Amino acid sequence: MSDVLILGGGIAGLSAAAHLARHMRVTVIEAEDALGYHSSGRSVSFSHYGIGNAAVRGLTAWSRSFYEAQPAGFCDTPLARPVPTIYLAREETLPALEALHAEMARFTDAVRWIGPAEIEALCPVVRTGAGQAVKAVLDPTGLKLDADALLQSFARQVRAAGSEILTGQRIAAIEATGEGWRVRSEGGESRTARILVNAAGAWGDRMAALAGVAPIGLQPKRRTIIVVDPPAGTDVSAWPFVHSAGGDFYMLPEAGQILVSPVDEVEDDPCDARPEDYDVALAAHQLEQYTTLPVPRIAHRWAGLRSFVADRVPTAGFDREAPGFFWLVGQGGYGLQTAPAMAAIVEALITGSAWPEGLDALGVGPAQVTPDRLRNGSAHSVAT
Ligand SMILES: Cc1cc2nc3c(=O)[nH]c(=O)nc-3n(C[C@H](O)[C@H](O)[C@H](O)COP(=O)(O)OP(=O)(O)OC[C@H]3O[C@@H](n4cnc5c(N)ncnc54)[C@H](O)[C@@H]3O)c2cc1C
């Protein structure tokens, strides 16, 4: 019998497992044959301050030291490389960008305003001038993360500590045993543990329902990415991650190609998300609106789910009505960039050790992440 069962082999489950495996015997159970098959493998894998709310920025800030100076022996290759981000404003979206700039400036003093000449110098295809980008905020501290290296390195740590990861086992039944929890897979295999960590991503509320635990209102939202080739001879490698302040477009260079999103947030059920034709066409349209790039062909496309609770802050903590049932869900569009902080929080809450040092000062204490906040009506829906 393990001490902890973790349902879900995405970034949330694996990073938490790596931390807990230092103290106890952990079993991660993943439904798919491959780790990170769902949201964690479909991300654009970036860390930046332009997304989320104050708590998310605090979690992001705390996590940065892990990415900037990765722990010795964690991974042979760099987990992160610097890529600047720019946020474009047209006249009508300037107020939104001013508000975003103020939020970002609370966490980094490196952000600054730039004008059309500097925008074009950073990314020559961005349309500037009347009706187009008039100003931008440049954040030079953006980091492009290596999601696969992260997932595999956390998994390696789990196994090296003597804990285990089971793949291809979809949990179909969960019951309280009195001393803990028993889970049973579709294939009939069963496992028990004192503590059950629900890190099932978009399926978080479904897992709770299987366990007879009340849902916390997790809403999966689909996001679409298309991949296009730049015109022949164009080297995109030094381009920044370009966002619109209006929240309807982003693009970033990746391995010689360009990833583009219409920044869609379409409510969906937990599923193997597929891109819809409308969102694919919208991504291509937005690329042509914001840049001078033509889109003669879409090389590749995918979609993934980003799952949010009402206040869009990731959730970690024991359920107050179900002893030993621990929530680790709601990572939204920032599950990779906040994973080091969230894993440290899980370690503190499950082992009873101290709250991660410095996280309070960044505005994140237990009250920000507890599932209780979603049950007593104190979490407000916010659009960020
Ligand atoms: C297009 C896109 C772009 C993104 N860009 C970024 C970004 O730039 N930066 C960033 O930080 N984040 C980004 N994100 C968000 C990030 O990908 C997520 O926040 C993160 O991957 C969530 O991790 P997770 O482990 O909670 O979920 P998942 O990776 O989905 O893992 C949950 C796992 O639980 C498993 N599971 C479910 N049900 C069961 C069951 N019954 N039995 C066993 N296992 C089960 C699933 O198979 C799944 O593997 C992006 C997401 C998308 C879709």
Q: Which of 27, 40, 309 to mutate to test the pocket of ligand 1 (most atoms within 8 A of CB)?
A: 40
Number of residues that this document lists for the chain? 384
Assigned token pair, 377: 């009506």
Tell me: the pLDDT tens digits for 16-53?
999 999 999 999 999 999 999 999 999 999 999 999 99
264 has a pLDDT exceeding 60: yes
Contact 163/21 with Cβ under 8 angstroms?
yes
Can you name the CATH fold of 2-59+147-218+310-374?
Answer: FAD/NAD(P)-binding domain (3.50.50)
342 CB within 6 A, ligand 1: no
Residue intervals of the chain classified under CATH 3.50.50.60 are 2-59+147-218+310-374
Q: Which of 6, 39, 334 to mutate to test the pocket of ligand 1 (most atoms within 8 A of CB)?
A: 39
Tell me: the pLDDT tens digits for 300-337?
999 999 999 999 999 999 999 999 999 999 999 999 99
265 CB within 6 A, ligand 1: no
218 CB within 6 A, ligand 1: no
Q: Angle between the 339-351 and 11-20 helix axes, to the nearest 10 degrees?
A: 50
Kindly report the CATH class assigned to 84-141+220-306.
alpha beta
**Mean pLDDT score of the chain, rounded to an integer?**
96
Residue of 8, 82, 64, 76 lying closest to 40 (CA atoms):
8
Per-residue pLDDT at 384 = 44
| Residues sharing a CB contact under 8 Å with residue 156, sequence separation 6 or more, in sequence order | none
Tell me: the pLDDT tens digits for 150-162?
999 999 999 999 9
Per-residue pLDDT at 1 = 75
Strand partners, 29: 7, 166
283 CB within 6 A, ligand 1: no
Q: Relative to the CA of 32, which ligand 1 atom is closest? A: 47
Q: Relative to the CA of 302, which ligand 1 atom is closest? A: 1
Nearest CA to ligand 1 atom 25: 10
Q: Which H helix or E strand runs over 7? A: strand 2-7
Residue intervals of the chain classified under CATH 3.30.9.10 are 84-141+220-306
Tell me: the pLDDT tens digits for 166-178?
999 999 999 999 9
121 has a pLDDT exceeding 60: yes
276 CB within 6 A, ligand 1: no
Per-residue pLDDT at 383 = 43
DSSP H stretches of helix in the chain: 11-20, 54-68, 94-105, 116-122, 147-160, 204-210, 277-290, 339-351, 366-369
Tell me: the pLDDT tens digits for 2-23?
899 999 999 999 999 999 999 9
Q: Relative to the CA of 13, which ligand 1 atom is closest? A: 25
Distance of CA 41 from the midpoint of ligand 1 (Å): 7
Q: What is the mean pLDDT of residues 84-111?
A: 97
277 has a pLDDT exceeding 50: yes
